[in-house]
Amino acid sequence: MQATTSKEIVVLDKESVTLPQGFKAGGVHCGIKRKRMDLGYIVSDVPAAVAGVYTTNLFQAAPLLVTQESIAKENKIQAIIVNSGNANACTGEQGIKDAYEMQKEFACQLGIQEHLVAVTSTGVIGELLPMDKVKAGIQQILASENENETLFKEAILTTDTCTKQIAVQVKIDGKTISIGGAAKGSGMIHPNMATMLGFVTTDANIAHEDLLAALKDVTNKTFNMITVDGDTSTNDMVLVMANGLAGNDQLTSNHPDWDIFKTGLQIVCEALAKDIARDGEGATKLVEVQVNGANSFEDARAVGKAIISSNLVKTAIYGTDPNWGRIVTAIGYSGIKLNPSNIKVGLGPYNVFENGLPCPIVEDEVKEYLELDTIKITVELNQGDQSATAWGCDLTYDYVKINASYRT
| 223-242 pLDDT per residue, tens | 888 876 555 667 778 999 99
> What is the tens place of the pLDDT at every residue in 40-96?
999 999 999 999 998 877 788 999 999 999 999 999 999 999 999 999 999 999 999
Residue 284: name the closest of 375, 368, 363, 350 by CA.
375
For the whole model, what pTM was predicted?
Answer: 0.88
Count helices and strands (H / E) in the chain: 11, 16
- In sequence order, the 6+-apart residues with CB closer than 8 A to the CB of 373 are 284, 285, 286
Residues 6+ apart with CB under 8 A from 116: 47, 70, 76, 77, 78, 79, 107
The one catalytic residue among 67, 195, 234, 378: 195
- pLDDT, tens digit (0-9, with 9 covering 90-100), for 265-290: 999 999 999 998 888 777 889 999 99
| Per-residue model confidence as pLDDT tens digits over 279-318 | 877 788 999 999 999 999 999 999 999 999 999 999 999 9
- Whole-number pLDDT of residue 400: 77
Where helices occur in 175-238 by DSSP H, the ranges are: 208-221
* Helix (H) or strand (E) segment spanning residue 181: strand 175-184
Residues 12-20, mean pLDDT to the nearest whole number: 96
Nearest alpha-carbon partner for 161 in 276, 274, 285: 276
**Mean of pLDDT values over 325-333:** 96
Residue type, 71: I
Residue type, 297: F
- Sign of dihedral through CA atoms 275, 279, 280, 285? positive
Q: Does 401 have pLDDT greater than 50?
A: yes
Q: What angle do CA 371, 375, 345 make, to 5 degrees?
A: 115
Q: Please, what is the average pLDDT of the chain? A: 91
- Respond yes or no: is residue 284 known to be catalytic: no
Predicted pLDDT at 193: 36
Q: Give me the domains of the chain, ranges plus CATH numbers.
A: 2-277 (3.60.70.12), 286-404 (3.10.20.340)
pLDDT tens digit sequence for 212-224: 999 999 999 998 8
Between CA 66 and CA 217, with CA 77 as vertex, the angle to 5 degrees is: 85
